[in-house]
Amino acid sequence: MAAIDLIVLGMIKAQPQSAYELQKNVEYRNISKWVKVSTPSIYKKVVQLEEKGDIAGNIVKEGKMPEKTVYRITEAGEKHFLKLMEETASQSVRLFLDFNAVIMSLDFVPEESRGELTGRIQDEIQIMKDTVEEKMSERSHAPLTGMAILEQQYMLFDVLGKWMESFRKDYLK
């Protein structure tokens, strides 16, 4: 699970924060849409990284708010982070598109269902493209790296939409 380790370590490296703040940042950035990471797994990962010594928590109390643990990256965590960055950047790029399971099995559903199923996929691709476009305009102040990921996602959904349109046309003849 190098991706979630990188996300948590990177976010804590950027700014010490609580597990709750990490979760909110993952949600705000829609990270689970482009990286296989669930929001609940953030808490579990924080515990694992603390046990491993990659992050350390300090209990803080602000005003009348309840106590919370704010995590910071340790020297060991810095080394682990850099190692993960190098390893992950060197891996072959894989794209897993769950809808390919539907495409692969289209021949095994009634012919009248094929158009509806492929239409749903096409609609969902368009919804995601529109969502990313909206996020790009909402977050125009985001760091270059964040905007680059949004642009990447927009381009991927654009190409997938064109591909799906072409596939449907050929397949549904």
**What would the pLDDT profile of 56-74 be if each residue is shown by its tens digit?**
999 998 889 899 999 999 9
Taking residues 74-85, report their average pLDDT. 97
- Assess whether pLDDT exceeds 90 at residue 52: yes
Q: Please answer whether residues 29 and 22 qualify as being in contact, where contact means their C-beta atoms are separated by less than 8 angstroms.
A: no
Q: For residue range 84-143, list pLDDT tens digits in order.
A: 999 999 999 888 888 999 999 999 999 999 999 999 999 999 999 999 999 899 988 888
Rounded Cα distance, 138 and 30, in Å: 13
**Is 2-89 assigned to CATH 1.10.10.10?**
yes
Confidence label for 1 from pLDDT (cuts 50, 70 and 90): low
Pairwise pLDDT comparison (122 vs 31), residue with the higher score: 122
Taking residues 50-57, report their average pLDDT. 97
Query: Over the chain, what is the mean pLDDT?
Result: 92
- How many beta carbons lie within 10 A of that of residue 160, not counting itself? 20
How much is the pTM? 0.78
In SS3 terms, the chain reads as CHHHHHHHHHHHHHCCECHHHHHHHHHHCCHHHHCCCCHHHHHHHHHHHHHHCCEEEEEECCCCCCCEEEEEECHHHHHHHHHHHHHHHCCCCCCCCCCHHHHHCHHHCCHHHHHHHHHHHHHHHHHHHHHHHHHHHHCCCCCHHHHHHHHHHHHHHHHHHHHHHHHHHHHCC
Domain segments of the chain: what residues?
2-89, 100-171
Q: Please answer whether residues 117 and 106 qualify as being in contact, where contact means their C-beta atoms are separated by less than 8 angstroms.
A: yes
Taking residues 42-60, report their average pLDDT. 95
